[in-house]
Amino acid sequence: SQQGEEDPQALSIQEGENATMNCSYKTSINNLQWYRQNSGRGLVHLILIRSNEREKHSGRLRVTLDTSKKSSSLLITASRAADTASYFCAPANAGGTSYGKLTFGQGTILTVHP
Amino acid sequence: DTGVSQNPRHKITKRGQNVTFRCDPISEHNRLYWYRQTLGQGPEFLTYFQNEAQLEKSRLLSDRFSAERPKGSFSTLEIQRTEQGDSAMYLCASSLVGLASNFGPGTRLLVL
């Protein structure tokens, strides 16, 4: 399966601390995307990193990609209570009829305590 | 609003009934995906379209599930003879190939 597998499954931190979530996948990708989901709500796209990129930033988010290790990480700096949510990585298939198809793992549940 | 919309937002039905959900994607997006999500799990891929062509359907999807995307615009997902195990959030997403997906708010299905 191509789906991303996030680690840890749950993360609990204090406001102001940094949160790091990891993702591993199995086969070739075109890109890898990170999404956030607040409880009972839809998914919100956070950041997309292409297979030829190693690092990408967006505000307080920093994503890295290591295609040799088939892994990615999402770092949220200076976390806020509003960052409390589930975070999913979604590798996008590299080729064939499944090109660009996203598959999701179980996610990391992040809790930021005020 | 130019986001992805889904209707209805909630559906309660009795076991054995048929239900149909609609997804209106962002107009210029050629890819449309359907996912199912249960509590505590990530979205599970069901099927996806490129324009009007259905490119892939999950092997986990029984023949009670069917999806269409006529004219490459909106899409419908129908579940026939619903079972209690079909209770879940059904998510639709659209994108341009190779770019980020925009998700709709989902349709929450409860089968009694």
Q: For B74-86, what is each residue's pLDDT tens digit? A: 999 999 999 999 9
B94: pLDDT strictly greater than 90 = yes
Q: Tell me what pLDDT residue A60 has.
A: 97
Percent of chain B exceeding pLDDT 90 equals 81
What does the mean pLDDT of chain B come to? 93
Cis geometry, peptide bond prior to residue A91 (ω within 30 degrees of 0): no
Q: Tell me what pLDDT residue B60 has.
A: 75
Q: How many CB atoms lie within 10 A of CB B72?
A: 15
Q: Tell me what pLDDT residue A27 has.
A: 80
- B-chain CB neighbours of A92 within 8 Å are 98
User: Which one is predicted more confidently, A100 or B47?
Assistant: B47
| Whether the Cβ atoms of residue A45 and residue A100 lie closer than 8 Å to each other | no
B106: pLDDT strictly greater than 70 = yes
Q: B107, B76, B80, B88: which is closest to B16 by C-alpha?
A: B80
Q: Tell me what pLDDT residue A96 has.
A: 65
Average pLDDT over every residue of B18-24? 98
Under-70 pLDDT residues of chain A? 1-2, 96-97
Q: Tell me what pLDDT residue A4 has.
A: 78
User: How many Cα atoms occupy the beta-carbon half-sphere of A49 within 13 Å?
Assistant: 26
Q: Which of B1, B10, B38, B45 is the best mutation test for A, with the most CBs of A within 10 A?
A: B45
- Using pLDDT thresholds of 50, 70 and 90, give the confidence band for residue B1: low
Q: Are B103 and A99 an interchain contact pair (Cβ–Cβ within 8 Å)?
A: no
- 């190779």: which residue's tokens? B98
Q: CB contact, 8 Å: B97 with chain A? A: yes
- A-chain CB neighbours of B42 within 8 Å are 3, 88, 104-107
- Using pLDDT thresholds of 50, 70 and 90, give the confidence band for residue B2: confident
- A-chain CB neighbours of B102 within 8 Å are 45
Q: A28, A23, A6: which is closest to A99 by C-alpha?
A: A28
Separation in Å, CA of B2 to nearest CA in chain A: 15
Average pLDDT over every residue of B8-37? 96
User: Which one is predicted more confidently, A1 or B9?
Assistant: B9
The whole-angstrom separation of Cα B24 and Cα B109 is 18
Residue in chain B lying closest to A41 (CA): B105
Q: Are A92 and B31 an interchain contact pair (Cβ–Cβ within 8 Å)?
A: no
